[in-house]
Amino acid sequence: MPSVNVNFSPEHLTTKDGSAFVASLVDPKVWSGIQLLNYTPLHELKDMSIVRFRGMIQDMQDPEMYLERYEVIKEDSTCRLQEGKYRDCLLLNDGERVNHDAKANVHGERRTFFVISIPGLNDWCQEYESQCSRYNFSKHVKTEVSGGKKRSAPIEDDSMQCETSSEPNADTDVNKRKRTEGQVDESTSVGEVNHSSNTVIGMEYHLNSPIPSRPSKACMIKIYEDFEKYKLNTIVDVIGFLSVNPALDASTMDVDMFDNINEIQAQNPPPSLIPRLHAITVHSLPHPNPLLDERLLWSRDERNSTDLIDDFNMLAAGNEFRNFLKLCLFNDSLSAEYLLSHLISSVYCRAESRCLGRFLLNLFNIPHKNIPQYTKQLYKLLDLLIPASHYITMTADTLNDSTFGPKKDYETNKLVSGMLQLAPQTHLVIDETFTKSETLNSNGILSMQILGHVMKYQQLKCNFQYYEIEYEVDIPILCLSENKSILPYDVFVPIEYDDQSLQVIEESLKAASHYLNATRLNHFRRFLTKAKLAEFSVNPAESEMVQNDFVEMRKNKTIRDADELHHLLVLARLLAVARGKNMLDKESWELAKQMEATRQRRLIEISP
């Protein structure tokens, strides 16, 4: 790992050494030398340290004007210019003040993104990232320590407040924090806040995790350029200056002059809970898998990276993964092939209302009465392989009591997250084996509508009360059920099993777990992500073959319209990619046709 000097203050970033550091960040491997805020306790870091944060953009706040450069009048009436970029507070020594009327003052614009650690990121990913962080840092970075004093709430341009070189009174800060925590109303749910003037917003509302049972860490990222480049729900890796000055906490502000205290509190949470990070550089992540990210390296990678590349083969990994899935699915080869195709699917193109590459799957005919824990056991195995996922039991209580879509809270000017506000390629596994005929309330009906819209269009509706905005998502959805689901999946596959496979399924699941040794785990995790990202094309000869077959299938009434042809092409593409191919060939096309014919026969046989 290249050694990285990160002992820079914001003012020194424009020096020769600082410019060299910024230029070095073009090399992805240099990023591994920057400490990960996700896995480092805040008390081990100094204010204005250079750190990293990886996460999903959950909310975007209004534009903020700040003093990029300002004139400071010293105690002896002489003046100096101070840089304000990458800081929340104005940097002043004792006896100094800002000359707000100076012609040398420069105002800049920045945006604040509320970024949370990737929702649903599975344990193996977190452990890998944490190991990278632990290995790379045996010592803590030492940078400047700056104090702060009580400030007024931000007003338009003058959002940056004074910062002095003197240390704050530690006892005072602790007491304020305790008093604040004492006022939190623990009965307030994650999705709402009591908007009374004397209520302090609770921690869960501040953190705003889409999956409350798996709370995320949060960070407020200050962006200085390319504002339109970033979209809601995308994954970013950010290097910047950490800002944890206690003066940023709303509880330290003079807010009596403001009517809406809730907004001040929501937009200025305690930095000990939600730190600020002033971005030096931002990298958009195409996937959440840390194994394929050059920006995450540790000793084991450096020793074995060559071996892993030499040993890994898409065709071999796909064949072994297919065997693993057969063990999990009653030795049903067809179901294993469809599940494999689903797990490597992703939206690769959008044309009008169509999502090319979407492959939502419903595996049904699961013998839930015989093996009531089967779906949970299957998910636990998939959980070991998929970078990010979430498991939902589809019951009336889940639909009635959960918030599926984000909603704008105008009292706090905050987008309150919903369960389906997930990062790209986060797999959603819906267990319908617990579904009963129960009544849905208005929220339950709304939840079904939001879920149905995500399934059909891969778009998530965000409720802004007076209107809705649709944001693009890429959420592969797998449904496990006894009967065929009523939701609009792309493919419905009845699992086929006999008495013998049913009797030994518990042993088969144990065998599948043992099958996942360290090497196979590594290969399968890489295989699933590499397949999602694989380049694929169709040459003219195969395109003509598909067109001719389409005409014949229309004549034979084995296919009805262009939508069914699109589905068949997607399946053929996934089958080819799973076998290490980057172009459509006759073998994959014929296999897709054969699988679809077998699936259709099963559906006819199982129908009442």
More confident residue, 606 or 279: 279
- At 298, the pLDDT band (50, 70, 90 cuts) reads low
**Predicted TM-score (pTM) of this structure:** 0.87
Given a contact cutoff of 8 angstroms between Cβ atoms, the answer to whether 387 and 529 are in contact is: yes
In this structure, are 558 and 509 located in the same domain? Answer: no
Helices 299-311 and 518-533, packing angle to 10 deg: 70
Helices 540-556 and 562-578, packing angle to 10 deg: 130
> How many domains is the chain built from?
3
Dihedrals φ, ψ of 85, to 5°? Answer: -65, 145
Write the CATH number for 241: 2.40.50.140
* pLDDT tens column, 48-78: 999 999 999 999 999 999 999 999 999 888 9
* pLDDT tens column, 168-196: 333 333 333 232 343 334 333 434 444 44
Answer yes or no: is pLDDT of 524 > 50.
Answer: yes
In this structure, are 405 and 490 located in the same domain? Answer: yes
Within 13 Å, how many C-alpha atoms sit on residue 450's CB side? 27
CA 77 – CA 602 distance, rounded (Å): 88
Do the domain assignments include residue 548? Answer: yes
Within 13 Å, how many C-alpha atoms sit on residue 257's CB side? 7
List of residues 6+ apart from 559 with CB closer than 8 A: 550, 553, 565, 568
Query: What single string gives the DSSP state of each residue in 161-203?
Result: EEE-SSPP-HHHHHHHHHHHHHTB-TTS-TT-----TTPBPPH
CA distances to 18, 91, 93, 156, 159 from 72, in Å: 24, 9, 10, 20, 16
Do the domain assignments include residue 337? Answer: yes
> What pLDDT score does 553 carry?
87
Given a contact cutoff of 8 angstroms between Cβ atoms, the answer to whether 487 and 451 are in contact is: yes
Answer yes or no: is pLDDT of 154 > 60.
Answer: no
Answer yes or no: is pLDDT of 85 > 50.
Answer: yes
In this structure, are 253 and 274 located in the same domain? Answer: yes
Task: Give 482's DSSP letter.
Answer: S
Q: List 72's β-bridge partners, or say none.
A: 80, 98
- At 255, the pLDDT band (50, 70, 90 cuts) reads low
CA 601 to chain centre: 39
- At 261, the pLDDT band (50, 70, 90 cuts) reads confident
Do the domain assignments include residue 495? Answer: yes
502-507, Cβ contacts within 8 angstroms, sequence gap of 24 or more: 502/330, 502/367, 502/370, 502/371, 505/330, 505/371, 505/374, 506/371
Q: What's the full length of the chain, in residues? A: 608
Range of the domain at 375: 314-533
In this structure, are 514 and 557 located in the same domain? Answer: no
Within 13 Å, how many C-alpha atoms sit on residue 258's CB side? 18
Q: State which of 533, 551, 568 marks the end of a domain.
A: 533
SS3 content of the chain, % helix, strand, coil (to 5): 40, 20, 40
Do the domain assignments include residue 309? Answer: no
> What pLDDT score does 153 carry?
40
In this structure, are 376 and 509 located in the same domain? Answer: yes
